[in-house]
Each structure stands twice: as C-alpha cells, then as structure tokens.
Amino acid sequence: MSPQAEPGAGSKPKRSSGRRPSLTREEILAAALAIVDEGGLDALTMRAVADRLGVYPNAVHWHMGSRSGLIGAVSTKVFDEIRLPPQRDVPWPDWIRAMAREIRRVMRRHHHLAQVIGTQLVTTTGAMPFVERVLSVLTDAGFDDERLTVAYNSVIGFAIGWPALELSTEPTDQHSAWKDDFAAELAGLNPLLFPALTRAMPAVRNRAYLLRWDSGATEPLDTSFEFALDILVAGLGAQLPG
C-alpha cells in the first residue's frame, strides 16, 4: 500500500477569502502604488492588487470599498513621501520654494498619478499633516483670515497644479506618428495669421504648453517651473500687510 500523502501536498496553498488577518490597508496601498508606477492608472484594478498580494479581490474590497476609493487613497499616499524642511529653520519664502520643488519631485516619481492628484477631490484625511504644515508656515508669515485662505489656495494650486499640467499624459489612442504630424503642423503655420507664434516657434516648440508633444515626465520644464515659482513667492510677499 502506498504511503498516505500529506494533506495539500503537491498543491498550492489556498488563498483565504474575505478579510485576511495579516492583510493591512498599508500593504494594499503599497501594492497599488507599485502597480500604477509600473503600468499606469489603467493597470490598477482590485484583482491586480489582490493577485500581487496573494489574496482574493474581495479581501481588497473589504479594506478599500471600491476602485475609486482605492485610487483616491493611493493618490493621497503620495503625500507620505514628501519631505518638508523644518519651518523654523528657513524663511517662509524659502520654505514655500522647497515645498513646491519637493511636491514636483514626488509627482514626477509617480507621474501616472499626477492627473489624479491634480484633479480629483481628496476624500481622505491622509494629506492633513501636509495641509497643517502649509497653513502654519503661511500663518507665521503674516497671513490670516480670508487672506490666509486665498494665499493657501494659491500655494496649493501652484504646487500641485503646475506639475499636474507639466506631467500631462500623452494620448494613447493616436497613431504612432502623431508627434511628427503635430510638429509638422506647427512648422507649417501661416506667419501672416500667427506672426508672434511663428516668430517664437524655434524657442517654444515642444517646450511650452499647447505647443509640445512630449510629456514633462520625459521633457521637464525646469526653467519655466522656477520662473513661475519666483512669481508665486514674490506675489505672496507683496500681499503681506506692511
């Protein structure tokens, strides 16, 4: 008589369904962020996350609810990577500059999420420590009441909105030669109809908004970013009382 096989021998361990005791929300978000970084936002599904973690999709649903909730939570998780200087160590203009550069650095690292971060309303409190720091710096600088609100919105609108626009995704449903076609169309513009544009074309082609065919993920607009950041900080300073 052949020896009795051990239970489960030669088969894969069975994945647990529903809530897995060892599965945490942080594990799910880390796996989801890795999937987005590797394959873009379209690659992020509940099943893809479950497969990466070795669980059934309903285990991910139990923690995150829906795909939209997962996307929102992942986009907010990016704020965990932002490293801000101690606000007492630097003057507020330098702090604002450092913060904006750091957000751009992190968003470039996770450029597939840039559009979500820049356009989707935040539905979790994961970004609140960051919000607290920005408000604290602006308050110490001298902004208060309504002036604090508009200053905060100006700072956040620039710090998140600028890189989101810079990192706009390239169209995926266009034919492979669309970049060459667009460049040729720009080169063929009538100088009588577009005198300023055609005169500036050597400087602005593929380096300015609405005139580029490469995303900032591969062709960053560093000089323009720093120019706009200087304008933001100077404008904030001009609005301070006294």
Please state the domain extents for the chain.
25-65, 79-170+214-239
Q: Which residue bears the tokens 């009382």?
A: 241
Percentage of the chain surpassing pLDDT 70?
A: 89
Q: What is the mean pLDDT of the chain?
A: 87
pLDDT of 3 higher than 60: no
pLDDT of 227 higher than 60: yes
The class that CATH gives domain 25-65 is mainly alpha
CA pair distance 10, 24, nearest whole angstrom: 29
Lowest mean pLDDT among 7-16, 89-98, 104-113, 163-172: 7-16
Lowest mean pLDDT among 8-22, 95-109, 163-177: 8-22
For range 136-144, the mean pLDDT: 96
Assign domain 79-170+214-239 one CATH number from 1.10.3720.10, 1.10.357.10, 3.40.50.300, 3.40.50.2300. Answer: 1.10.357.10
Return the ∠ at Cα 150 (arms to 148 and 155), rounded to 5°.
95
* Contact predicate 189/198, CB 8 Å: yes
- Six token digits for residue 173: 């449903």
Task: Identify the pLDDT of residue 123.
Answer: 60
Distances (CA, A) of 207 to 212, 214, 232, 239: 6, 9, 21, 31
Task: Identify the pLDDT of residue 148.
Answer: 97
pLDDT of 229 higher than 50: yes
Instruction: Give this prediction's pTM.
Output: 0.81
* Contact predicate 155/134, CB 8 Å: yes
Question: Which of left, alpha, beta for 147 (phi over 0: left; psi -120 to 50: alpha)?
Answer: alpha
Task: Identify the pLDDT of residue 12.
Answer: 38
Domains 25-65 and 79-170+214-239 share a fold: no
Burial annotation 91-112 (CB, 10 A radius, 16+ → b, else e): ebbebbbebbebbbebbeebbb
Tell me: the pLDDT tens digits for 118-138? 777 666 677 888 999 999 999
For range 80-84, the mean pLDDT: 88
Task: Identify the pLDDT of residue 79.
Answer: 83
